Amino acid sequence: MQKNTVVKEKTVKVIDYIEIGKVNFIRKPTVRNLKITIKPFREVEVSVPYFVSFETAGNFVREKQQWIKNSQARFARYRNGLTVFEENTVFQTKDHTLILCRHERPTIKTIIKNGRISVFFPEQADVRDPRIQKVIRKAVLEAWRMEAGKYLPEEIHRLASIHCFTYRKLTVRNNRTRWGSCTRNNQINLNIHLMRLPRHLCEYIILHELCHTVHKHHQKAFWLLLDQVTNGKARVLDKELNAFSPEVW
């Protein structure tokens, strides 16, 4: 089953494959190479240059079908680990409580104020709709960003003072893969997702990065220092941290 549609300057062709589902072949003026893009919650997309036929692009997808299936399976595991927010879901950040409300408008609206993350969605909509879930998650992330900006500077200053570390600057950001990092000039970056960790693991990550102001590696000297500032628990805390992921929540 296939259909052709024209969207502005793009030509889109959709083919439904038995094993991998719908694939969107998109021909764009700016594309120079065949490229397959796979993202969570989205169909497979193939960027097609104007000088490449859709038949050639289809052959390319068939050649890469096993890789596509493996990627889809990986993203399926990721999706299965995510929280699905429903109207009776109890969800709290450090300073905020999530409130889901229906309203008569056809739009989705969020308000973060007075310790509440309020998300309003259409009265007849299914709260499990991926579009609504995306807005909820975005609102929760914004609350974590606000809290991280408030608490993490205080926490890193406190721990640095206790253990006699110095650092140049702190940056707080949303990172999908790393809890934190330390640059060569001792600028420390911390992930806003530290706000959802148990406090002792949040402290561990901050101390981990502070130790990198002294040792720019993960060799023996680094772990000895980290052990010293965590009362000999560095490896235990590092293993405990493996149960959490910045990307899955």
pLDDT at residue 2 tops 90: no
Rounded Cα distance between 236 and 99, Å, is 36
* CB contact at 8 A, 223 and 207: no
In this structure, the strands spanning 187-191 and 180-182 are antiparallel
Residues 197-215 have pLDDT tens digits of 999 999 999 999 999 999 9
224 residue type, one letter = L
- SS3 sequence of 97-117: EEEEEEECCCCCEEEEECCEE
* CB contact at 8 A, 97 and 117: yes
Q: How confident is the model at residue 143 (pLDDT cuts 50, 70, 90)?
A: very high
Domain with CATH 3.30.2010.10 in the chain: 146-241
Helix axes 220-229, 199-211, angle to 10 degrees: 140
SS3 191: strand
Which pLDDT score is estimated for 75?
77
Residues 189-200 have pLDDT tens digits of 999 999 999 999
| CATH architecture of the domain with residue range 146-241 | 2-Layer Sandwich (3.30)
SS3 66: helix
Residues 3-48 have pLDDT tens digits of 554 444 678 999 999 999 999 999 988 888 999 998 766 789 999 9
* CB contact at 8 A, 42 and 32: no
User: What is the pLDDT averaged over residues 93-104?
Assistant: 97
Rounded Cα distance between 63 and 52, Å, is 16
Residues 38-90 have pLDDT tens digits of 876 678 999 999 999 999 999 999 999 999 999 888 777 667 778 999 999 99
